[in-house]
Structure 1
């Protein structure tokens, strides 16, 4: 029997760290999206609490009482990349057909999700492209440098490697997640890079990306520089897969 499009199971996965100021509204923003695509109540909004020191996880548990499609998960703090990998592997294990990822700081617009969802059958992965950014010139500059480094190491041209607004099939994640170390800190960058390098059906769609809506960003210049130096070593390691 041919599978119906309406039967597709969607998992929206969101890493969260010390997001008590944002988490309630973030859930209220994205929960209706999951409800619209609930696929027999199998779809989920999965929020992974990455060892927050505030009451992020407690708020999620409170919200889940009246939101059956909300799945709060928690793990020891390991950083954004670790939380992303945890979320992706959970969604794959739960046999989600499609996995969509965004962040908890409310910089993305849920209204733009449908454009991705409507094209899901034509692509293995659809990535957001932050053509205009509300998070400052420094971060936009870092992303441009990163894209140039990826072109040097992997011979790929991508407009945005790390946007937290992406829809991927389970098969796409099943293929590429095993290539990454358990707690790799830039999984979205490599998920974008591998897709382009291995000629998968990928597409980039411009998205809105606003300023952070409350709370404090845990990333600073010192951390960015540290991640950058480590990334160069990691990219050399990943070249064993890409030739």
Structure 2
């Protein structure tokens, strides 16, 4: 039985990272290419540098690589764009990570080995090296989710998650199309509705190249909007 997987990676102004990203993650999709229909999909979210051009050039060398581009809408909208693309193309599994090379492809196999036992396997950034401010943001977010939804989870937003597409399809339509924190809400849905999920520790290093487009003022702005979204989505759960 074929098991088609789409690796979904959003990218914004990642010209400094994109070559290494492709080189590091392409062997993963090669090992798990199913009937040859699996894809490493990088979504260019309206970059102002030549990220997209570099992806398209790399396609000549990497046949399972596919570059998509869209108007800038933020990390969340790019993730959702990729998820919907995987669903449209009849993938069996979706794996999502980010383009800043903070995650380790060598840790993927332990996730893949659990794909039959769990419907989603999600990373837990036990030892984060991306700064105390971001660690505190995640801790605050976990407290908010516990208050709003009664879920106790170790990491809501880790960009390292393997999901069955059938599970993804079950919940993706519950969120607005431009939702800023889709991975947070998907993790919350999975926990709230007692889906078969597993959290695995992953490494998470500091960004090596380029500049992070999501700074603390942006995180704060996203956070304030998310509070309203959380209330709205919780009300839908109760209706």
Q: Counterparts of 1:1-243 in structure 2 under 5 Å?
A: 4=1, 7-243=2-238
Mapped to 2, the partners of 1:78 and 1:239 lie a distance apart of: 24
| TM-aligned CA deviation for residue 179 of structure 1 | 0.4
Deviation at 1:241, TM superposition (A): 3.5
Instruction: Calculate the aligned-residue CA RMSD, in Å.
Output: 0.7
Unpaired runs of 5+ residues, structure 2, are none
| TM-score, normalised with respect to structure 1 | 0.97
State the secondary structure of the residue aligned to 1:225.
Answer: helix
Shift of 1:213: 1.8
Instruction: Calculate the TM-score normalised by the size of structure 2.
Output: 0.98
Kindly tell me the number of residue pairs found equivalent between the two proteins.
238
CA shift, 1:12, in A, is 0.4
Poorly superposed stretches of 4+, deviation over 4 Å: none
Q: Note the C-alpha offset of 1:221.
A: 1.5
Secondary structure of the 2:44 match is strand
**3-state DSSP of counterpart to 1:121:** coil
State how far apart, in whole Å, the 1-side matches of 2:231 and 2:35 are.
44
Check the 8 A contact 1:154/1:242 in 2, yes or no. no
**Alpha-carbon distance, 1:143 to partner:** 0.2
Unmatched 5+ stretches in structure 1: none
Distance 1:134 1:28 in 2: 23
Q: Give the Cα separation in 2 of the matches to 1:233 and 1:240.
A: 11
